[in-house]
């Protein structure tokens, strides 16, 4: 099992004060990594950090806005200079906005793209520049089942997550020769704050349970194994891949 051991490595997880990001940070810490939590809200971030430290995790925090390219670069460069290398990056920060496409406000479209796509480029590039110099690194982008499927009212979100999948391929194509492994995880429907409106909708829950072969919502802890795998030496020849963790929803009509 040493293939999956992350002892001595440092992992930055964006958008990790709650939900999927916090669950992935907890899982990486359990595998031995020092985790660097990121969010814009320092109070919420420190609460998450204290919760992980109480569980025995080694935790740092890094407050910056993933949609601000200059802030991202300064935060990443500063952290590396003061604390050492970021060996693993999980680009998890994201948002959702549900509106019929013909009524979708342009400002919300732009905000969604900045959060879901631009941030992956900004943080990925800032971290990769250091990884390239070292000749090693792992980048894991959080895509979505919506990278492959669409539903009414979320066309821009579907667009953004399709872009994340293809940006992941581009990262692998450009950076694999420098020793980087760049992959994505595409969650299906998980019970998270982002999906609160759907979780509380009995009609949608009934549809989802019927539509998903596993017959239920996913639990955020069920994403940890995929993340640890892609972050570890076990995935040393896996590059440009999107791993769907979706209860079978993309496999079945």
Residue 253 belongs to a domain: no
Residue 252 belongs to a domain: no
Specify the pLDDT at position 195. Answer: 86
Specify the pLDDT at position 169. Answer: 98
Tell me the average pLDDT of the chain.
Answer: 97
Q: Specify whether the CB–CB gap between 13 and 24 falls below 8 A.
A: yes
Residue 68 belongs to a domain: yes
Specify the pLDDT at position 196. Answer: 86
Range 61-80 average pLDDT: 98
The region that residue 64 occupies, defined by phi over 0 for left and psi between -120 and 50 for alpha, beta otherwise, is beta
**Domain count of the fold of the chain:** 1
Specify the pLDDT at position 177. Answer: 98
The CATH number linked to 184 is: 3.40.50.720
pLDDT digits (tens, 9 = 90+) for 79-123: 999 999 999 999 999 999 999 999 999 999 999 999 999 999 999
Query: Has residue 71 got a pLDDT over 80?
Result: yes
Share of the chain above pLDDT 90, in %: 97
Residue 250 belongs to a domain: no
Specify the pLDDT at position 197. Answer: 87
Specify the pLDDT at position 93. Answer: 96
Specify the pLDDT at position 1. Answer: 75
Q: Which residue range is the domain that position 190 belongs to?
A: 2-245
Q: Specify whether the CB–CB gap between 120 and 182 falls below 8 A.
A: no
pLDDT digits (tens, 9 = 90+) for 186-242: 999 999 888 888 999 999 999 999 999 999 999 999 999 999 999 999 999 999 999
Residue 251 belongs to a domain: no
Active site residues: 157
Specify the pLDDT at position 106. Answer: 97
Residue 172 belongs to a domain: yes
């Amino acid at each position: 099992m040493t293939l999956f051991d992350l002892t001595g490595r440092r992992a930055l997880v964006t958008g990790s004060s709650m939900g999927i990001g916090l669950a992935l940070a907890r899982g990486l810490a359990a595998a031995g990594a020092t985790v660097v939590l990121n969010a814009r809200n320092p109070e919420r971030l420190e609460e998450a950090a204290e919760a992980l430290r109480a569980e025995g995790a080694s935790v740092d925090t890094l407050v910056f806005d993933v949609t601000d390219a200059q802030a991202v670069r300064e935060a990443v460069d500063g952290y590396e200079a003061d604390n050492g290398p970021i060996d693993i990056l999980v680009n998890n920060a994201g948002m959702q906005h549900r509106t019929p496409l013909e009524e979708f406000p342009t400002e919300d479209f732009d905000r969604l793209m900045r959060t879901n796509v631009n941030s992956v480029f900004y943080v990925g590039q800032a971290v990769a520049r250091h990884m390239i110099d070292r000749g090693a690194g792992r980048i894991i982008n959080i895509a979505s089942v919506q990278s492959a499927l669409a539903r009414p009212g979320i066309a821009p979100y579907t667009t953004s997550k399709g872009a994340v999948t293809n940006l992941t391929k581009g990262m692998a194509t450009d950076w694999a020769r420098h020793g980087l492994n760049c992959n994505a995880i595409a969650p299906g429907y998980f019970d998270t704050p982002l999906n609160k409106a759907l979780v509380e909708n009995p009609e949608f829950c009934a549809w989802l349970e019927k539509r998903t072969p596993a017959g239920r919502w996913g639990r955020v802890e069920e994403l940890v194994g995929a993340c640890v795998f892609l972050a570890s030496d076990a995935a040393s020849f896996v590059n440009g891949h999107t791993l769907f963790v979706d209860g079978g929803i993309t496999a079945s009509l």
